[in-house]
Amino acid sequence: MVLAGGQARRLGGVHKPGLLIAGVSLLDRVLAAVADAAPRLVVGPPQPAPADVLVVRENPPGGGPVAALAAGLNALVDVSQQPITWLALLAGDLPFLTPAVVSSLRAAAASTDGAVLVDGSGRDQYLAGVYRLSSLAGAVSEQGTPGGAPLRRVIGRLSLARVTAAPGGAPPWLDCDDADDVRIAETLARETSESKEADG
């Protein structure tokens, strides 16, 4: 589940998931990190997405991440063909998230309610996590009306493992909140591409 409905005020209100980093949209980069997941779901305004990705809207529109999470969980009940045990919950602006990082989160979550990525300053990144669906749904239900509630109030009550990314390379927790973040992401993406080309 990718939450892609933020208002991007620090970027002038642009549709952030559609921003291109090295020619690839932020949303497509995040979806590539969970290419083998099914179903895949984006919560946000109508927007371009691969054919196998369901796009749903939170209620109310712009109601924040907990409202988006609640809408996504409700949609999963309708579209899933089989029981879902684990859910990757991701922000729509993580250009360097990879399948390997998602796999490491899944492995760390095995005996807990979930696992979250920890950024370079030691903060939990709740929108870069893998969660036991029953635990996450229970926490959202306990919250009640989700409007305006901070995500940490809901997810922070769970028993979570914490995963630190391996050193080197572009940080998978880097999100693109403002123009400086976008410039940094573009530079890192270019450097990563050049490094791969040099390695041949």
Of 135 and 15, more confident: 135
Residues linked to residue 164 through DSSP beta bridges, in sequence order: 118
pLDDT tier for residue 199 given thresholds of 50, 70 and 90: low
Residue 190 is predicted with a pLDDT of 86
Q: Which pair of structure tokens corresponds to residue 165?
A: 């990314």
Which parts of 46-178 fold into alpha helices (H)?
Answer: 65-79, 99-109, 133-143, 151-155
Among 189, 183, 169, which Cα is nearest to 120's? 169
pLDDT tier for residue 15 given thresholds of 50, 70 and 90: confident
Contact 165, 147 (CB under 8 A): no
What's the average model confidence in pLDDT over 152-170?
Answer: 90
3-state percent breakdown (helix, strand, coil) of the chain, nearest 5 = 40, 20, 40
Residue 146 is predicted with a pLDDT of 64
Contact 128, 97 (CB under 8 A): yes
Evaluate if residue 197 carries a pLDDT over 60.
no
Q: What are phi and psi of 55, to 5 degrees?
A: -110, 125
| Total count of domains within the chain | 1
Rounded CA separation 153/145 (Å): 13
Task: Pick the most confident of 1-10, 75-84, 121-130, 175-184.
Answer: 121-130
* Residues making up the chain, counted from first to last: 200
Which CATH number belongs to the domain containing residue 78 in this structure? 3.90.550.10
Domain region containing 46: 2-199
Among 114, 96, 117, which Cα is nearest to 106's? 114
Q: How buried is 140 (Cβ within 10 angstroms: 0-12 exposed, 13-18 middle, 19+ buried)? A: buried
Question: How many angstroms separate the Cα of 33 from the Cα of each of 101, 106, 148, 196?
Answer: 8, 13, 28, 18
What is the tens place of the pLDDT at every residue in 98-129? 999 999 999 999 999 999 999 999 999 999 99
Say what the pTM is. 0.91
Residue 168 is predicted with a pLDDT of 76
What is the tens place of the pLDDT at every residue in 25-78? 999 999 999 999 999 999 999 998 999 999 999 888 888 899 999 999 999 988
